[in-house]
A and B are shown apart, each in its own frame.
Chain A
Amino acid sequence: MQRWTSQPLPVPAFPAAPWERADLEFEDLLHDGPSYAVVLFLNNPDVAEDAIPDEMPGFAGHFTVFAHGDCWGDPGHCDPPGKPVHAFDRRAPHPLAPINITVEITEALQALKDVEEVTVTALAYSTEPDKREDVLRFGRLTLITYDPPVTL
């Protein structure tokens, strides 16, 4: 199991500053190894790894990355995708190009009430920990809240 906790992310205090939806965006996730599941908690960096997730404080949801698994090609086949060969390279993106994953955390974040910042703790479970345990690799985590529509 891999544990990762974010730096604090500022949050518009709910319900004082109302918003109607909140998403976590994991950007530039790598998926070149074993598939993995990630369970997310808010403001609970020490959550026990063997706990039942949805019974723990701050449980915010989970996502699974159906990843590519072992490389079946010759050496270099599954190296990180590089840039297009040249400006006229029309080929589809490399299958291992990083992906983004969105997780809706509206209810979990609203339940915290009146907090001004939040940390995200991710427990990542590799399907093949003997081959790779540090499966959660990504470039940036963004917390987005959406304001309710304007009412006249």
Chain B
Amino acid sequence: MTLQVQTAGAPRLATLHIRRSLAKLTAGQLADLRAAFQKTMALDDDRGFWYFAGWHGEPFNWCHHHDRLFLPWHRAYLYYFELALQAQQPGVTLPWWDWSLLDHLPHAYTAETADGADNPLLVRKVRVYQSGTDQPAPPRAPGGPQARGIPPPPYRARLHHAMQATSFTEFSRRLEAIHDDVHVWTGGIMQDIASAAYDPIFFAHHVMVDRCWRIWQHRQPGALPPQHLLDQPLRPNGMTVRDTLDVKQLGYEYAGTSSHVPGPTT
């Protein structure tokens, strides 16, 4: 599956990576995803899973919530984390968990084992970056006591309502409200900001959030974040809000389906 766009910096065509639904991953794609997590979890330096988990919550606390940088910051975060995965497992992309359709956690993230080994997508521990120690992670508890007061997924009607927004601020607010519910409904370390990104399912959740923003951008192409925020840098790498607006310039796209055939010159 290849899509090419011209890059912003150098005048050349580059191949986009396609993010897919978890429900549509092939066995090989899922195996690649597991391998990517496994390999990055084996690294305790700034190439590893634990380092990137620490961007969001402890120890770095760089994330944004309940403000208008919520969507741009998390898009940049996924971009850098996906690059770290691709550095270990070329071609892999982060899939999305469609909580607008699914009423339970995706099986890929709940299976105890995969291919005869521990499933790296099932959270078991938290290792704060370069702390040298592992802490056991409490298991997820979807819909458990921690979710009292929260309607369970699927969130199809609420997502439809969010998609009706015509301003970025309103859309972001509505989507983040669903996002908060998913975190707390899932439970375990997903329920608090400090620890959430240490659970691999965090990334499938946030790819869904990012995908919803992308679809909304298709529908509202002129609706941007507030002007005064466009040149604001996002921690820690200095990507600006403006840099996050075009996913093709970040090297990826979302696809329900795509297919390709060779042209006459190949």
A interface residues, Cβ below 8 angstroms from B: 1, 31, 34-39, 53, 62-70, 72-73, 92, 95, 99-102, 123-125, 127-128
Q: How far is the CB of A94 from chain B (nearest CB, A)?
A: 9
B interface residues, Cβ below 8 angstroms from A: 57-59, 61, 63, 65-67, 128, 146-151, 173, 177, 179-181, 183-184, 187, 191-196, 235
Q: How far is the CB of B25 from chain A (nearest CB, A)?
A: 27
A43 to B12, CA, bound (A): 63
- A69 engages B195 (CB within 8 Å): yes
- B195 engages A127 (CB within 8 Å): no
Q: How far is the CB of B123 from chain A (nearest CB, A)?
A: 15
- Given the complex, which residues of A lie within 8 Å of B196, measured CB to CB? 66
Q: Which of B58, B177, B191 contacts A127 (CB 8 A)?
A: B191
A66/B180 contact (C-beta < 8 A), A99-B67, A102-B173 known: yes
- Given the complex, which residues of A lie within 8 Å of B128, measured CB to CB? 72
Q: Which of A1, A64, A72 contacts B194 (CB 8 A)?
A: A72
- B146 engages A128 (CB within 8 Å): yes
The number of A-B residue pairs with CB atoms under 8 Å apart is 82
- B66 engages A100 (CB within 8 Å): yes
Q: How far is the CB of B58 from chain A (nearest CB, A)?
A: 4
A37 to B63, CA, bound (A): 21
- A64 engages B150 (CB within 8 Å): yes
A92 to B151, CA, bound (A): 34
- B192 engages A35 (CB within 8 Å): yes
Nearest first, the 7 A-B pairs at minimum CB distance are: A69-B192, A37-B149, A127-B146, A99-B66, A64-B180, A66-B180, A72-B58
**Which single residue of chain B is at the shortest CB-CB distance from A63?**
B177
**Which single residue of chain B is at the shortest CB-CB distance from A123?**
B149
A142 to B67, CA, bound (A): 18
22 pairs, A vs B, C-beta closer than 8 Å: A1-B148, A35-B180, A35-B183, A37-B147, A37-B149, A37-B150, A37-B181, A62-B149, A62-B151, A63-B177, A64-B149, A65-B180, A66-B179, A66-B183, A67-B192, A70-B192, A72-B58, A72-B128, A73-B59, A99-B65, A125-B148, A128-B146
- Given the complex, which residues of B lie within 8 Å of A34, measured CB to CB? 191-192
- Given the complex, which residues of A lie within 8 Å of B146, measured CB to CB? 35, 127-128
- Given the complex, which residues of B lie within 8 Å of A65, measured CB to CB? 180
A33 to B170, CA, bound (A): 26
- B192 engages A68 (CB within 8 Å): yes
- A66 engages B194 (CB within 8 Å): no
A64/B184 contact (C-beta < 8 A), A37-B150, A102-B173 known: yes
- Given the complex, which residues of B lie within 8 Å of A1, measured CB to CB? 148
Q: How far is the CB of B14 from chain A (nearest CB, A)?
A: 32
A70 to B67, CA, bound (A): 22
**Which single residue of chain A is at the shortest CB-CB distance from B232?**
A92
- B149 engages A66 (CB within 8 Å): no
Q: How far is the CB of A102 from chain B (nearest CB, A)?
A: 6
Q: Which of A31, A53, A92, A99 contacts B149 (CB 8 A)?
A: A53
- Given the complex, which residues of A lie within 8 Å of B179, measured CB to CB? 66
Q: How far is the CB of A65 from chain B (nearest CB, A)?
A: 7
